[in-house]
């Protein structure tokens, strides 16, 4: 059997980005959380905030380090496996990727060093500023990488010359039609993911009865935050879906499992999409409901998959199920938050063992939703790398053989299967030792910490602010 370099390259990309996205999904939120804790400590001087910040910083360091090294892999994938895409679209997407590096990566990497190792080397306001800059860096990175991805989903502001894409309007390119929705939905997803981790770790800490103050603080902060962000995330998701209906109708039809378009379409609750038979098997559907929530009218017209030629349809079953997993997880989250708030209102939260235990299990919910949502949008874009313009089949590097890619894929699989379990176990060990055990080993100290900082605080504008 001949191995297909395109299919294997797609698998490889899915593998490396799938693992990588779990890290920003966690660190983007965590960086903001740590900046908040540092700020709260600076204002109130309450020990609980400092303990929490130091505790989460140790976990952040590990997940961020893993995020850096698995992130470096990503831009190289464009070259190693998708060189024809790079040649065709390089003029449009490369500045966005470069701005990600320039505005985000250096900021994060440099000030994370100060944040981790510099608490005693720099004055407190600078240390807090470092925390804020790391958080800003993670958000800036999210901005640029999603601008790139959104342009590939809903390309505008370009012109085609000899089959290659050239920029015409940079504002349009960056703020492509799906970008505001994707950015809001993704950042909110990352924050919710982090908050569920904090909720779970807080529950574990309270349940064990050690570091009660820290545990209770984590539980409450997470619940209050989620009370706003989970419903908000569901609204943002709905808005993003309507945007997809407008700009990527084939993807939306796959999400809905809708083969026959028309007026007053049904909503498919669950079924088994059969791509070759062009229908769903064993389906449960509710008549007219699809039109209602997609067009906000009982008889609104929606395009079906059959309105597109078979070679322009995404793999329906993957998109269909990934979407349902995401929505299902969202509803579970809503239930968890409602339960938690109910218990909080009755002052039973810290004593309700079964709920605390449940919170430990729901740590994974955000990650599942992120992967499912990402699968929905990326597989839903198929068979295109640039939606409607450049096919994935035309994007792959011509020099690659199936054997080449199989070998690299297997190596990526092997390495990620080592470092991710070890990384998780190392983080779990920190969680088990708890926030009270904040390690006091003074961080890396160099020679003479005093003089330069005093000098610096007065002279650099960053320091002055």
Residues 408-427 that bind other proteins (CB under 8 A): 408, 411-412, 415, 419, 422-423, 425-426
With CB under 8 A as the contact rule, which of the stretches 28-36, 92-100, 222-230, 336-344 interacts with other proteins?
92-100
Among 309, 446, 450, 465, binds other proteins (CB under 8 A): 446
Q: Give the footprint of other proteins on residues 10-49 (CB under 8 A).
A: none
Least distance (Å) from other proteins to the CB of residue 161? Answer: 9
Question: What tokens appear for 407 in the block?
Answer: 């070998």
Q: Give the footprint of other proteins on residues 168-207 (CB under 8 A).
A: 168, 170
Size of site (CB under 8 A) for other proteins: 83
Question: What tokens appear for 131 in the block?
Answer: 């925390």
Cβ proximity to other proteins: between 79 and 287 the closer is: 79
Among 27, 153, 248, 397, binds other proteins (CB under 8 A): 397
Q: How far apart are CA 385 and CA 373, in angstroms?
A: 17
Among 125, 443, 454, 464, binds other proteins (CB under 8 A): 443
Least distance (Å) from other proteins to the CB of residue 375? Answer: 23
Q: Are 30 and 137 contacting, i.e. CB atoms less than 8 angstroms apart?
A: no
Among 17, 42, 68, 139, binds other proteins (CB under 8 A): 68
With CB under 8 A as the contact rule, which of the stretches 99-107, 217-225, 284-292, 306-314 interacts with other proteins?
99-107
Q: How far apart are CA 410 and CA 159, in angstroms?
A: 38
Q: How far apart are CA 58 and CA 119, in angstroms?
A: 13
Compute φ and ψ for 129, nearest 5 degrees.
-60, -40
Q: How far apart are CA 199 and CA 280, in angstroms?
A: 39
Residues with Cβ within 8 Å of 362's Cβ and at least 6 positions away in sequence, in order, are 196, 199, 200, 332, 333, 336
Burial of 4 (0-12, 13-18, 19+ CB in 10 A): middle
Cβ proximity to other proteins: between 158 and 204 the closer is: 158
With CB under 8 A as the contact rule, which of the stretches 23-31, 288-296, 347-355, 445-453 interacts with other proteins?
445-453
Among 18, 39, 65, 388, binds other proteins (CB under 8 A): 65
Least distance (Å) from other proteins to the CB of residue 95? Answer: 4
Residues with Cβ within 8 Å of 113's Cβ and at least 6 positions away in sequence, in order, are none
Q: Give the footprint of other proteins on residues 113-172 (CB under 8 A).
A: 113-114, 116-118, 121-122, 166-168, 170
Among 23, 50, 73, 363, binds other proteins (CB under 8 A): 73
Q: 228 to each of 120, 166, 374, how far by Cα in Å? A: 36, 41, 23
With CB under 8 A as the contact rule, which of the stretches 34-42, 85-93, 237-245, 320-328 interacts with other proteins?
85-93
Number of Cβ atoms within 10 Å of the Cβ of 108: 24
Q: What is the DSSP letter of 382?
A: T
Cβ proximity to other proteins: between 275 and 404 the closer is: 404
447 touching other proteins, by CB under 8 A? yes
111 touching other proteins, by CB under 8 A? yes
Q: Are 107 and 140 contacting, i.e. CB atoms less than 8 angstroms apart?
A: yes
Cβ proximity to other proteins: between 253 and 409 the closer is: 409
Containing 167, the helix (H) or strand (E) segment is strand 164-167
Residues with Cβ within 8 Å of 171's Cβ and at least 6 positions away in sequence, in order, are 157
58 touching other proteins, by CB under 8 A? yes
E strand segments, 287-374? 301-302
Cβ proximity to other proteins: between 210 and 404 the closer is: 404
Cβ proximity to other proteins: between 358 and 457 the closer is: 457
Q: How far apart are CA 227 and CA 231, in angstroms?
A: 7
Cβ proximity to other proteins: between 276 and 446 the closer is: 446
Burial of 120 (0-12, 13-18, 19+ CB in 10 A): exposed
């Amino acid at each position: 059997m001949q191995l297909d370099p395109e299919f294997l390259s797609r698998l490889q990309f899915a593998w490396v980005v799938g693992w990588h996205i779990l890290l920003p999904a966690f660190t983007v939120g965590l960086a903001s959380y740590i900046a908040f804790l540092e700020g709260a400590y600076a204002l109130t001087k309450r020990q609980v905030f400092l303990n929490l910040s130091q505790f989460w910083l140790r976990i952040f360091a590990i997940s961020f380090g893993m995020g850096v090294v698995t992130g470096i892999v990503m831009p190289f994938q464009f070259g190693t496996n998708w060189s024809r895409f790079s040649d065709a679209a390089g003029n449009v997407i490369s500045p966005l990727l470069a701005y990600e590096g320039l505005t985000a990566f250096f900021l994060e990497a440099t000030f994370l060093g100060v944040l981790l190792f510099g608490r005693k080397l720099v004055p407190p306001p600078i240390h807090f500023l470092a925390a804020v800059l790391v958080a800003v860096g993670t958000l800036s990175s999210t901005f640029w990488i999603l601008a790139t991805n959104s342009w590939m989903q809903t390309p505008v502001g370009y012109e085609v010359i000899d089959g290659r894409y050239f920029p015409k309007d940079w504002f349009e390119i960056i703020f492509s039609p799906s970008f505001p929705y994707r950015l809001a939905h993704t950042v909110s997803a990352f924050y919710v993911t982090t908050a569920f981790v904090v909720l779970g770790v807080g529950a574990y800490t309270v349940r064990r009865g050690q570091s009660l103050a820290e545990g209770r603080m984590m539980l409450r902060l997470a619940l209050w935050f989620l009370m706003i962000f989970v419903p908000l995330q569901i609204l943002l998701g709905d808005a993003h879906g309507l945007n997809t209906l407008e700009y990527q109708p084939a993807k939306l039809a796959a999400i809905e499992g809708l083969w026959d378009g028309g007026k007053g379409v049904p909503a498919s609750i669950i079924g088994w999409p059969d791509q070759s038979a062009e229908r769903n098997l064993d389906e449960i559907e509710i008549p007219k409901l699809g039109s209602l929530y997609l067009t906000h009218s009982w008889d609104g017209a929606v395009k079906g998959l059959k309105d597109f030629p078979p070679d322009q349809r995404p793999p329906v079953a993957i998109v269909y199920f990934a979407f349902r997993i995401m929505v299902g997880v969202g509803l579970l989250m809503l239930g968890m938050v409602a339960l938690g708030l109910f218990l909080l209102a009755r002052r039973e939260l810290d004593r309700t063992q079964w709920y605390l235990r449940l919170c430990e299990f729901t740590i994974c919910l955000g990650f599942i939703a992120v992967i499912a949502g990402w699968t929905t949008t990326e597989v839903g874009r198929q068979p295109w790398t640039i939606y409607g313009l450049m096919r994935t089949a035309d994007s792959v590097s011509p020099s690659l053989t199936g054997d080449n890619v199989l070998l690299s894929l297997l190596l990526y699989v092997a390495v990620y299967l080592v470092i991710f379990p070890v990384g998780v176990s190392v983080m779990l060990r920190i969680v088990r030792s708890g926030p009270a055990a904040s390690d006091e080993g003074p961080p890396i100290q160099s020679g003479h910490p005093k003089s330069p900082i005093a000098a610096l605080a007065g002279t650099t504008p960053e320091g002055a602010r």
